[in-house]
Amino acid sequence: MSFDPTDPLGLDDLLEPEDLAVRDTVRSWAADRVLPNVAEWYETGELPGIRELARELGAIGALGMSLSGYGCAGAGAVQYGLACLELEAADSGIRSLVSVQGSLAMYAIHRFGSEAQKQEWLPRMAAGEVIGCFGLTEPDHGSDPASMRTYAERDGGDWVLNGRKMWITNGSVAGVAVVWARTDDGIRGFVVPTDSPGFAAPEIKHKWSLRASVTSELVMDDVRLPADAVLPEVTGLKGPLSCLSHARYGIVWGSMGAARTCFETAVEYARTREQFGRPIGGFQLTQAKLADMAVELHKGILLAHHLGRRMDAGRLRPEQISFGKLNNVREAIEICRTARTILGANGISLEYPVMRHATNLESVLTYEGTVEMHQLVLGKALTGLDAFR
């Protein structure tokens, strides 16, 4: 059996034919619809045609794909992970679109919503006809959601919602927002149609990361909602945090997609770029870099696969997701940075994907829990001592 430099550990042997079919479908879609355009989108800081892209993603079953019923694909965790890897191999912004739609907004409604809420929103969201967003992070409260200021109070049979959320993916193009707010009964989630009076979602400009992605602020000024807008099946932070765990799982896979693209770019460049009369891939220092990148890349994919099998078996713990998110995003950034050194000055050019992925991963490192927060989650799990406060 010959050595496959694209799969040095033989990880494809762990995948079933159905897994490979999902991977190939998403990879083909990304190659056709994202890769030819993403450098221009990134340079201009726009994601034109996002609604059309959402409908196409719905058509291939990528939206809410790990959920069952209501038009969702009901795919396994590993299949969802493979989809995230292939999407982020194209661009983190595209994977974020899918993650926020499926793992945050749709997941919250699917797990905590009423039957009426599920019937109203999930089929259209699964088809990409309605884009969703997830409002948790606030301008002054990122890693400490328990201190959120957004508040919902009862007024007769209605709720009145006031507050602001920040760094919200999909916000300006969303048709529905899942917004978390303080109430007299504790933190609750609300399903908010974005055409509600008093709701606004101005887009955040001047980003140097995730530029091929829509990022917004949510502003709620006396947004009046009916009594049945609240998610009935959860009270407290366990609601939004369980959604974040699902999204973090996708990042464990997705970050390895960005790393894979940068690694493959570096390998190809090292084979063809000549210095001192021969390809730079023939020099020991370059080979050492490539070997280290390959080791961390495929260890990360193996870790993601292991976590996926645990999720499919119903045995995946939040601490294990923190383990994967901490390791894989951190190693993905290092792989991208190392790839940049192999490409030299060309590494900063948008003719190559390396710097785009590296800057995107700076955001991925921060959202859904910073490095420090995941270190503390693991520290608490290892010692039994809470160092958060």
Q: What token pair was written down for 108?
A: 């919250």
| DSSP-derived pairing of the beta strands 132-135 and 176-183 | parallel
Amino acid at 96: S
Do 269 and 165 contact (CB within 8 A), yes or no?
A: no
Place of tokens 């058509």: 59
Q: What token pair was written down for 385?
A: 């001592």
Specify which residues 279 forms β-bridges with: 274
Class of residue 101 by CB neighbours under 10 A (exposed 0-12, middle 13-18, buried 19+) = buried
Rg of the chain in Å (alpha carbons): 21
Class of residue 204 by CB neighbours under 10 A (exposed 0-12, middle 13-18, buried 19+) = middle
Q: What token pair was written down for 71?
A: 């038009």
CA distance 125 to 121: 6
- DSSP class of residue 344? G
Do 132 and 192 contact (CB within 8 A), yes or no?
A: no
The dihedral sign for the CA sequence 325, 326, 331, 334: positive
Specify which residues 152 forms β-bridges with: 161
The contacts of residue 207 (CB under 8 Å, 6+ apart) are 45, 215
Specify which residues 25 forms β-bridges with: none
Specify which residues 192 forms β-bridges with: 177
Closest CA to 100 of 47, 66, 63: 63
Closest CA to 179 of 118, 238, 220, 120: 220
The answer to whether 368 is a known catalytic residue is yes
Q: Which of 120, 264, 368, 372 is catalytic?
A: 368
Catalytic residue annotation:
368
